[in-house]
Amino acid sequence: MTLLNPTKMVVISLLVDKFKLKIVLSILLPTIFYGQGNSTVEYAEIDSLYQFEKYKALTSIDITKVAYQSKLEFAKLNFIMAKSYENLNQEDTALSYYKKALDLFKAEQAHENIAKTNLEIYLLLDSQNNLVANKDIYLKEVYNYAISTKSKKWLASYYTNYGVDKLKNNISDSAKLYFFKALKLAEEIDSTQMQTNISINIGSTYSRKYKNQDSAIFYYNNALKNYYSDTLTYKNLNTEFNIYNNLGNAYRRKKDYSKALEFYSVAEQIDLPKLNTKSKKILFSNIDATYYYMEDWANAYDYLYKYDSIKDIINLKEQNSAITDIEEKYQNEKLRANNLEIEAKRKQNQNIAIGLGGSLALGSIIAFLLFKNTKRKQKLAEQEKEIESQKLATVLKEQELTAIDAMIEGQEKERQRIANDLHDDLGGLMANVKLHFNALKEKDSPELFEKTNNLIEEAYQKVRTVAHAKNSGVIAKQGLLKAVQHMADKVSTSNKIQIEVLDHGLDNRLENSLELTIFRVIQELITNVIKHAEATEITIHLTNHEDSINIMVEDNGKGFNPNQITKNNKGMGISSIDKRIEHLDGKLTIESEKNKGTTVIIDIPL
């Protein structure tokens, strides 16, 4: 796709939006801030400021002086304040408002707003580096809401964020799969905004993980097309900035530096209403790197200086903010002390002071006892948890020993079966051969010689049959890929089920025992699908990532609830597969939805 003069399009868009914003704010701002100490701010005025992304103005408003019509409106007010603080990079304050909004939405049973707040909390926690937090529970709530309401919008949102999480953990194939699932749902509900964001994620996957810049540019251009076709009156300029910045990155990685600078220039002209300094800091770093590769040292130094200047500004703002907070707290404490002194002189009642002192002492004692009791309960809980862990370890060890005993018993039975076959089948045959040889010794008969020869050939074939039954045949000679394809063809013919085998980078043979184990795992998975899934199609993906191999088996069967599978409650097939994968230090993931099929993903390090 070729873009026609993107710079002019951005400038026109910005001028129109700024003109509208200026008119609205000229009406709203004087109403809100004039005489604020004696008047009440209406919720509608707060919402209007939020719609026009005036976050600094919002954070300067005293939330206790905002008039609201219902508890639901008050919950929305807390949500607005959370978003405002987050967009100013004050995530800790934002989180406290999000939690308050979540509790209020739950009390009002506002399920759509609950899902929205859960998603925002997940995104906030996910954006913090080196933060240890159980963020996945919030995304799981979004998924549960999407399933319960059968909402394609929320399911697409879940798939998108789940794909981003996979991408962060370098599981690129799975990430791409979920991005395309999300894109399909966004197209079905005709949401150009969601299509824009998903296309950016797909472009980033191709650009950063697969190093395929042409595909990345294709999806970035699709995102830009959807962005401009969106009918929203007030667009998200940060999304527009991200598209142009990412296009610049893709062309820079292609070493088309002139084209990269064109898109960086468009991004630089966008006046961002939120996360401005943080975004421009990233952009200046990209432009600096581009000029460096072009060996244009003057411009490279210029943007390096801009980058350093933004860092200094950010540090200065943080310092000033801290000083302002300390000063405000000091003045508040001083005012509170003066009020207490005036009240004490006016009442001249020593009994009240004694009563307050006694209450404070009693409260301190109660608080201390509660604290000690809480610590004791925590210690007991930790001890119980340790005991449960030891019990679980013991049970797992016993299960492993039982499995080993069963395996040894199976091997003994197999040896006994082979011995019986040799004794019952081949033993009688060889006795017959001996009789024929004795007869040949006594008389020279061509017919008898031919029968003896046939008996020897039959004995040879029986020995080969036993050997083939022992080794399963095809895997040792043909290799993993051909063995899986052969099995797929055979199963497709006999079971009226279509099996497709797709390989990526599986050109060389793996170690023989590893190939045999993977073959057995795939064989067990196919057997499970045939027995339980009622599927008509199966797709087997085999991908060699040099340092690991990825197996993904998908079916279009009836699916099931993966939560029903636990370490203590597994079917025989899943238990056998899990043991094999665990023995190889691999990872097994099962994703399934009722009536939407099942996907089993296995990663094994090489």
pLDDT of 377-399, one tens digit each? 888 888 888 888 878 866 775 67
Rounded alpha-carbon distances, angstroms, from residue 237 to 19, 271, 515 = 15, 8, 52
Query: Where residue 322 falls among pLDDT bands split at 50, 70, 90?
Result: very low
Query: Where residue 233 falls among pLDDT bands split at 50, 70, 90?
Result: low
* C-alpha angle 579-580-585 in degrees, rounded to nearest 5: 90
Query: Where residue 406 falls among pLDDT bands split at 50, 70, 90?
Result: low
Per-residue model confidence (pLDDT) at position 431? 63
Query: Where residue 336 falls among pLDDT bands split at 50, 70, 90?
Result: low
Rounded alpha-carbon distances, angstroms, from residue 488 to 475, 501, 510, 542 = 14, 8, 20, 13
Closest residue by Cα to residue 73 from 100, 114, 43:
43
Which pair of structure tokens corresponds to residue 392? 């679980």
**Mean pLDDT for all residues in the chain:** 79
Please tell me the pTM assigned to this model. 0.48
Q: Is the pLDDT of residue 507 over 90?
A: no
Average pLDDT over residues 97-104: 92
Q: Give 527-566 pLDDT, tens digit per residue.
A: 888 888 888 899 999 998 888 899 999 999 988 887 777 5
Average pLDDT over residues 154-160: 94
Q: Is the pLDDT of residue 584 over 90?
A: no
Q: Is the pLDDT of residue 104 over 50?
A: yes
Q: Give 571-581 pLDDT, tens digit per residue.
A: 546 777 888 88
Write the single-letter amino acid at 57: A
Q: Give 435-493 pLDDT, tens digit per residue.
A: 667 676 666 677 767 777 777 777 767 666 665 555 444 455 678 888 888 888 887 87
Q: Is the pLDDT of residue 330 over 70?
A: no
DSSP-assigned states of every residue in 136-183: HHHHHHHHHHHHHHT-HHHHHHHHHHHHHHHHHTT-HHHHHHHHHHHH
Rounded alpha-carbon distances, angstroms, from residue 225 to 220, 244, 531 = 9, 12, 47
Q: Is the dihedral of CA 410, 411, 416, 419 positive or negative?
A: positive
Distance CA 178, CA 184 (A): 10
Which of 148-157, 257-266, 326-335, 455-464 shows the lowest mean pLDDT across its residues? 326-335
Per-residue model confidence (pLDDT) at position 422? 65
* C-alpha angle 34-39-44 in degrees, rounded to nearest 5: 85
Distance CA 79, CA 71 (A): 12
Per-residue model confidence (pLDDT) at position 317? 45
Q: Is the pLDDT of residue 215 over 50?
A: yes
Per-residue model confidence (pLDDT) at position 398? 62
Distance CA 243, CA 238 (A): 9
Per-residue model confidence (pLDDT) at position 94? 85
Residue 345's Cα: distance from chain center in Å? 62
* Alpha-helical runs (H) found in 422-511: 427-442, 446-471, 474-478, 480-495
Q: Give 245-292 pLDDT, tens digit per residue.
A: 999 999 999 999 999 999 999 999 988 776 667 788 888 889 998 999
Q: Give the per-residue SS3 of 254-306.
A: CCCHHHHHHHHHHHHHCCCCCCHHHHHHHHHHHHHHHHHHCCCHHHHHHHHHH
